[in-house]
Amino acid sequence: MKHFFLRQPSSSPATHRGLSTALLVISSVFASHAQPVTPAATLLRPAAVFDGQDRHEGWAVLVENNKISAVGPAAQVTAPAGTRTLELPGLTLLPGLIEGHSHLLLHPYNETSWNDQVLLESQALRVARATAHAQRTLLAGFTTARDLGTEGAGYADVGLKQAIDQGIIPGPRLLVATRALVATGSYGPKLSVDEDVPQGAQEADGVDGIIRAVREQMGKGADLIKVYADYRWGADGSTQTTFSQDELNLIVQTARSAGRGVVAHASTPEGMRRAILAGVETIEHGDGGTPEIFELMKKRGMALCPTVAAGDATAQYKGWRKGTDPVPARIQQKHVSMAAAVKAGVPFAMGGDVGVFTHGDNAREMELLVRDYGFTPLLVLRQATSGNARIFHLADRGRLAPGLLADLVAVAGDPTQDVAALRQIRLVMKGGVLYRQP
User: pLDDT tens for residues 258-286?
Assistant: 999 999 999 999 999 999 999 999 999 99
**Residue 100's pLDDT is what?**
98
* pLDDT score, position 367: 98
Are the C-beta atoms of 148 and 310 separated by less than 8 Å? no
> Helix or strand or coil: residue 232?
strand
Amino acid making up residue 426: R
Domain presence at residue 45: no
**Cα torsion angle, 344, 349, 350, 354, sign:** negative
Give residue 247's pLDDT. Answer: 98
Which pLDDT score is estimated for 192?
86
Q: How many Cα neighbours within 13 Å face the side chain of 149?
A: 23
Give domain status of residue 395, yes or no.
Answer: no
Residue 68 placed within a domain:
no
Residue 149 lies in a domain: yes
Q: What is the pLDDT of residue 136?
A: 98
Q: Rounded distance, CA 349 to CA 98, Å?
A: 10
Low-confidence ranges of the chain (pLDDT < 70): 1-39
> What are the residue ranges of helices labelled H in 244-307?
245-257, 269-278, 291-300
The answer to the question of residue 272 being in a domain is yes
C-alpha dihedral over 378, 368, 140, 437, to 10 degrees?
-50
Distance between CA atoms of residues 201 and 203, nearest Å: 6
The CA distance from 289 to 271, in Å, is: 10
Residues 363, 320: contact at Cβ < 8 Å?
no
Q: Which residues contact 259 (CB under 8 A, 6 or more apart)?
A: none
**Any bridge partners for residue 303, and if so which?**
282
The torsion of the CA quartet 265, 134, 116, 202, rounded to 10 degrees, works out to: -40
Query: Residue 15: its pLDDT value, please?
Result: 39
Please indicate, yes or no, if residue 162 is contained in any of the structural domains: yes
pLDDT value of position 38: 55
Question: In whole angstroms, what is the distance from residue 55 CA to residue 133 CA?
Answer: 30
Q: How far apart are the first and last CA of the chain?
A: 5
**CA–CA separation, 386 and 97 (whole Å):** 9
User: Is 281:261 a contact under the CB 8 Å cutoff?
Assistant: yes
Domain membership flag for residue 282: yes
pLDDT at 72: 98
DSSP 1-63: -EE-------S-GGGGTT--HHHHHHHHHHHHT------SEEEEEEEEEE-SS-EEETEEEEE
Residue 29 maps to a domain: no
Number of domains in the chain: 1
Predicted pLDDT at 12: 41
Whether residue 39 has a cis bond before it, omega within 30° of 0: no
Task: Measure the CA–CA gap between 143 and 161, rounded to whole angstroms.
Answer: 13
Closest CA to 346 of 292, 386, 266, 399: 292
CATH of the domain at 338: 3.20.20.140
What does the pLDDT read at residue 25? Answer: 41
Q: What is the pLDDT of residue 195?
A: 87
Residues 6+ apart with CB under 8 A from 323: none
Domain of residue 107: give its range. Answer: 97-362
Task: Give the pLDDT score at 52.
Answer: 98
b/e per residue, 224-247, with b = 16+ CB within 10 A?
A: bbbbbbbbebeeeeebbbbbeeeb
**Residue 413: CB partners within 8 Å, gap ≥ 6?**
90, 92, 420, 421, 424
pLDDT of residue 40: 81
So what's the pLDDT on residue 235?
A: 81
pLDDT of res. 31: 40
